Structure 1
Amino acid sequence: MRELTVPARAHIARRENLTDMIVRNAQDEPQSVSFRRKVGSDWHDVTAAQFLTEVDAMAKGLIASGVNPGDRVAILSRTRYEWTLLDFAIWSAGAITVPIYETSSPEQVHWILSDSRAVACIAETAAHAEMVSGLMGDVPSLEHLFQIEGELAAAAEGLFVLGSRSEGIADVVVQARRDSLNAESLATLIYTSGTTGRPKGCTLTHANFLSEVANVTMQLDDLFGRRDCATLLFLPLAHVFARVIQLGCVYQRVTLGHTADVRDLLDDLAGFRPTFILAVPRVFEKVYNTAVQKADAAGKGKIFNRAAAIAIQYSEALDTGVVPVGLRTRRALYNALVYRKLRKSLGGRATHAISGGSALGSRLGHFYRGIGLTVLEGYGLTETTAAITVNPPRYAKMGTVGLPVPGAVVRIADDGEVLVQGPMVFGGYWRNEDATGEAIDNDGWFHTGDIGTLDEQGYLAITGRKKEIIVTAGGKNVAPAVIEDRIRAHPLVSQVMVVGDNEPFIGALVTLDAEALTPWSEKHGKSGSVTELATDPDLVAAIQSAVDEGNRAVSKAESVRKFQILPIDWTVEDGQLTPSMKLKRAVVMKEHETDVDALYGRA
């Protein structure tokens, strides 16, 4: 057993809450630019004083609508300025924010609204509002539905209506709601996928967020401590990773922008010019792959490949402390020819990026550091309020997820599982004592379900996962059981295993039920072996219908994009199933590595 404790650099007083930071910003530097808000194609400054005024108006509207202290209010929306505005308004009304991914299925939305007992939902679009409206009869607690954009829908009132209700509420009422909160007050319920299929609500307090934000931003002082700091947020604010960065920016007075359409990302980065970037590995992969494709199309593929190799060699040499003069010279040459253009495509000012959600990979990490953009990997879960470890800017170690955040304790159990404690670790799952008891032991250790190691310098490396949750390259947590159970319900399907860990999308391996295949073949006039039928267009269409049915239960990011029908079945006798018929995923992955590679175009 190995354990490392890092003393906290910031301590949270019991009287503190998350709304203090916006009040303090408006009092201390009212004209400082807290946000840059994109309207059309133009960026508009939002000062600290203006932001507090807008938050107060929305908070008053919520109070006037009947939202009481401790009530849950859901936000169903993409990342945008209004998301942050509403987050602080909900807290200023004394309520609790419940984020919902804008890609969530009606079934998922219904579960989150009903389990959280939300009294209000703020939906982004008319389509979102229509979905929620159709669920209101089945969610007794849900009394209010508001809409962020578009013309007012029959079932929803727009945000300007919410804001207009503020006129009857005095400033002291909002202040009293803020004063009713303290560090131990519940700030949010973030629903995270579980192996049972039903998302579990992580209860995160104001203290959890404040402890995380204060200590992490100190560890990342090179990113958050400069007066000209700015970042563009494009990851989903329904995810704890983006949420913590949002709060870190407000806490440290870093100018924050939002963009939800990744198709405009490069244009937005060029216009906003962030000093650091927050992304998941998939974004860094796309930037790299796009650069490769453009170089090839311009007949400069060989130059780019040499430049990439030099960048990696240079970064690897930095780890040794000795960079040969010749390597420095070649790196300077390619900086002028290639690297500077790549950095310019990201806005031109960024020197660092924070990556989370899944593993980046050492090679890509070395490439980016070599071109002048150091990507800092961290590790955490919703239950740890995002990062429990992160690489420090000046001492980043590739292949690791960094050092414990100040205030955190990281322990490697005898079986290799990563256990953690600290003020940023949640207190339990909403209305789910059994799940809480499984996650937090009697000594207060949260069991992450991940396997890892701590090196002599205290850097954590994640080497595997005890639990079966899949984390895509885009950082989306996917519970396989939900969609696997739906697909397996099709009569032609015997077994199914969802794959996609660290991959760009979710795929599936499917085996056929031999007993059902025979009558299906006769009905459709088919003949041949299972191997021959596995590629038959009609059979593939039938399995596609099973996959489509499974996809209806999950969000787009969790849905199966491609599948492979295997000409064999998995059995207890052959070792792919346990006696209780559970999949031995590691065994299946090893035996079907080629099939998985084929799903992702590597074979």
Structure 2
Amino acid sequence: MIIESLIRHSIDTPNKIAFIGADEEISYQNLLVRVRDVAEYLVEYSPKCMALRAENSLDWVIADLAALYAEIPNVPVPLFFTPEQVDHILVESGADLLVGDWDAWVENTAENAHSLDARLVGHAGNLSIWKRSVEDEKPLLTHTGKITFTSGSTGHPKGVCLSQNQLSKVSRALADTIATEVKCEKHLVLLPLSTLLENITGIYVPIIIGATSVVLNGEEVGLSGSSNFNPSQFALALAKYLPNSLVLTPALLMALIEVVKAMPVLAKNLEFVAVGGARVSPQLLDMAHSLGIPAFEGYGLSENASVVSLNTPSAYKAGTSGKPLPHIDVKVSNDGEIYVTGCVALGYIGQPFEQGWYATGDLGHLDEDGFLVINGRKKNQIITAFGRNISPEWVESEAQAFRALYGMVLVGDGEKSLSAILENPNVEQVTAALKQLNQRLPDYARIRTFITAQGLSSMAGFYTSNGRPIRSKFEQWMLSKTDEDDGRIITPINE
């Protein structure tokens, strides 16, 4: 459906701009020509699987679409993955064609422990193409079109195998759901295209509805790595391109709110801002709406081709993740775990899914109006010494309303009270914000102590590749601290 839409628009609106890059614009007609050319070029090397690793660019878009066109399984590789994770991806996927930024990986030098047996065979635009020797080939699941590696709580991400049909299903559902309610003629890609959500919303959905998508490298929109953000650069990109739609994480929504507070005109063209990746505070959404930012929370997993549910202007309820998309069915087990069917991945590499319903590992419920409420991860539940079950994501999302609590991580499993770990060194600011936060929370979920630590967000091994805290690490780290340890002070919160 994605390629069919590209062909249709190349005939019906050949001169319409499909994508805008840093240095060029490309029409739907020219896009199809370039996609076909690159597809034919890739096929010459008889690839069994392609690994695409590069900064966001028009070349990335063309290579990705060429793989769809030629039906070559494609593995987008995030630039912020560690060398060990990239090695794991290549071994698991058996990728024998490397496209993009692989030069440092194939240099056979003594300093490079992750060198690859590969040879340079050509270029696709500005992207290098390397042919790699693969000794132990692993057969991919039948109909695999894309493999997305989810970064969980371990160092070895799982490869989720998705078919073109599943990618088309979710893209079509999003296009139908959004395009019928708002007019999104221009999308600004902010997240890395190696992220499945932005891959779908930044490339596939615009192609299906015949819109224009702006694709710049991360630094040009203010985002570098997985979590470093420059709001000033983001504001410049918004002012220059005036997008109608964005896809943000809660942290980036906070940044957008601050940008719009300083320059209200930057919200004028926005029609739809999807927010996902973590639970979003209703207060944060209310704050966004009061500034004219049309922010709507959604929910999804790679195992369900990225998006399961979404709030929209006509079906919106703060505190929920919206209604399931038309192609999705949701049910909740007796213990509160969410199950999804209708668009379930083929499986993990070498491990096909046998069941029709996918157990998400998330806790929540469907309310009386059919809106999906997500409480948090089942495995992340904090059980206090008093036997109260608390989803840390719930408390952390409530903290999003306070700038002083940015990046807060909640701990306290097995303890009498909960504690917060954060990077803000201003103890007075943090204390005041936590007191306000506690007023919103029931007694058993209130935070009694906190600890500040400089450089928290860059602590090795404490976060997954997409920025989610590895809670067991934080629990161990917190327990190892004394009242005063290396400048880190545990501060009690007095009522």
Does the alignment reach a TM-score above 0.5? yes
Deviation for aligned residue 1:94: 2.4
Deviation for aligned residue 1:161: 8.1
- Picking from 434, 455, 458, the partner of 2:367 is 455
Distance 1:217 1:420 in 2: 20
Q: RCO higher in 1 or 2 (8 Å CA, sep ≥ 6)?
A: 1
1:371 counterpart residue number: 291
What amino acid is aligned across from residue 253 of structure 2 in structure 1?
A: F
Distance 1:137 1:567 in 2: 34
Deviation for aligned residue 1:145: 5.2
Matches within 5 A, 1:287-436: 287-290=256-259, 341-342=263-264, 344-346=265-267, 348-422=268-342, 424-432=343-351, 436=353
Q: Is the 8 A contact 1:275 1:351 kept in 2?
A: yes
What amino acid is aligned across from residue 297 of structure 2 in structure 1?
A: E
- Picking from 4, 20, 31, the partner of 2:4 is 20
Name the CA shift for 1:567/1:268 in 2 (closer, same or farther; >3 Å). Answer: closer
1:176 counterpart residue number: none
Deviation for aligned residue 1:252: 0.8
Distance 1:597 1:48 in 2: 58
Name the CA shift for 1:185/1:20 in 2 (closer, same or farther; >3 Å). Answer: farther
| Deviations 1:462-487, CA, capped at 9 Å, x for gaps | 112113499xxxxxxxxxxxxxxxxx
The 3-state SS of whatever aligns with 1:24 is helix
Q: Is the 8 A contact 1:385 1:425 kept in 2?
A: yes
Matches within 5 A, 1:563-602: none
Name the CA shift for 1:221/1:18 in 2 (closer, same or farther; >3 Å). Answer: closer
- CA RMSD across the alignment: 4.1
What amino acid is aligned across from residue 266 of structure 1 in structure 2?
A: A
2:248 counterpart residue number: 279
Q: Is the 8 A contact 2:151 2:158 kept in 1?
A: yes
Say whether residues 1:232 and 2:188 are aligned partners.
Answer: yes
Distance 1:200 1:76 in 2: 17
Name the CA shift for 1:403/1:47 in 2 (closer, same or farther; >3 Å). Answer: same
- Picking from 65, 69, 73, the partner of 2:50 is 73
Q: Is the 8 A contact 1:57 1:163 kept in 2?
A: no
Q: Is the 8 A contact 2:362 2:378 kept in 1?
A: yes
The 3-state SS of whatever aligns with 2:22 is strand
What amino acid is aligned across from residue 276 of structure 1 in structure 2?
A: S
Q: Is the 8 A contact 1:235 1:242 kept in 2?
A: yes
- Picking from 212, 219, 222, the partner of 2:177 is 219
Distance 1:137 1:98 in 2: 22
* Number of residue-to-residue matches in the alignment: 404
Name the CA shift for 1:58/1:223 in 2 (closer, same or farther; >3 Å). Answer: farther
| Deviations 1:110-154, CA, capped at 9 Å, x for gaps | 110111000112233xxx5203545999788x64557xxxxxxxx
2:151 counterpart residue number: 193
Q: Is the 8 A contact 1:362 1:398 kept in 2?
A: yes
Say whether residues 1:241 and 2:241 are aligned partners.
Answer: no
Name the CA shift for 1:380/1:554 in 2 (closer, same or farther; >3 Å). Answer: closer
The 3-state SS of whatever aligns with 2:299 is strand
Distance 2:246 2:58 in 1: 17
Q: Is the 8 A contact 1:509 1:565 kept in 2?
A: no
Q: Is the 8 A contact 1:231 1:274 kept in 2?
A: yes
Structure 2 residues not aligned, in runs of 5+? 131-141, 223-229, 383-394, 401-405, 413-452, 482-487
Distance 1:453 1:248 in 2: 28
Distance 2:105 2:280 in 1: 36
Q: Is the 8 A contact 2:181 2:314 kept in 1?
A: no
Deviation for aligned residue 1:163: 9.7
Distance 1:563 1:420 in 2: 30
Deviation for aligned residue 1:565: 8.9
- Identical pairs, percent: 23
Deviation for aligned residue 1:364: 1.4
Structure 1 residues not aligned, in runs of 5+? 1-16, 147-156, 166-183, 295-340, 471-499, 511-539, 571-594
Deviation for aligned residue 1:195: 4.7
- Picking from 28, 42, 66, the partner of 1:48 is 28
Deviation for aligned residue 1:82: 1.8
- Picking from 80, 100, 103, the partner of 1:129 is 103
Distance 1:358 1:257 in 2: 25
Distance 1:106 1:83 in 2: 21
1:205 counterpart residue number: 163
Q: Is the 8 A contact 2:6 2:32 kept in 1?
A: yes
Q: Is the 8 A contact 2:260 2:266 kept in 1?
A: no
What amino acid is aligned across from residue 30 of structure 1 in structure 2?
A: P
| Deviations 1:221-251, CA, capped at 9 Å, x for gaps | 2466x4x611101111111111110211111
Structure 2 length-normalised TM: 0.71
Say whether residues 1:35 and 2:12 are aligned partners.
Answer: no
Name the CA shift for 1:55/1:248 in 2 (closer, same or farther; >3 Å). Answer: same
Distance 1:567 1:283 in 2: 27
